[in-house]
Structure 1
């Protein structure tokens, strides 16, 4: 485990439903309503609802990045085939 992993909460999100759950958890930790998050990120409340339910296909990455930015979170891509990436 890296020192970074020791200080940062990592939420695995390999599917759209898992990403939606991660966004919902972060939103609730920040005590934001769906409407508040949507307004701050410049997306619709319906978009936030759909993402949190993991029901969206063709998800716009730009929207996801703005939402994560408002949650003070980031998206990390890890090579699951690289044995050193798990550290």
Structure 2
């Protein structure tokens, strides 16, 4: 098995988690997910039915009031989910 094939197999099966505690980190997470899917901003915007400008703003973390519905459309187009975790809980 070649190095590239092993990497592709790893990327296809590895689940990624992103800690998005700010608009900037959320944006970076969206970029990482989009790129991991091999999508351009135009591709993702079309799939998610949002404007490319909205996606650019979200990826830059420039809007601290992103519409949840549009964010969910983008996540759905990326085949990703949003998980809310209590960061204050410490597991025993």
Extract structure 1 runs of 4+ deviating beyond 4 A: none
Using the size of structure 2 for normalisation, the TM-score is: 0.80
Measured in 2, the distance between the counterparts of 1:36 and 1:29 equals 13
Aligned to 2:76: 69
Q: Structure 1 unaligned runs (5+)?
A: 1-6
**1:43 is matched with which residue: 50, 54, 67?**
50
CA-based RMSD of the aligned residues comes to 1.4
So what's the TM-score if we normalise by structure 1?
A: 0.85
Q: Which runs of 5+ in 2 are unaligned?
A: 1-13
> Larger Rg: 1 or 2?
2
Give the aligned partner of residue 87 of structure 2. 80
Aligned residues: 79
Distance 1:80 1:70 in 2: 27
Q: Provide Cα deviations, 1:34-59, integer angstroms capped at 9, x if missing partner.
A: 01100110100000100000001321
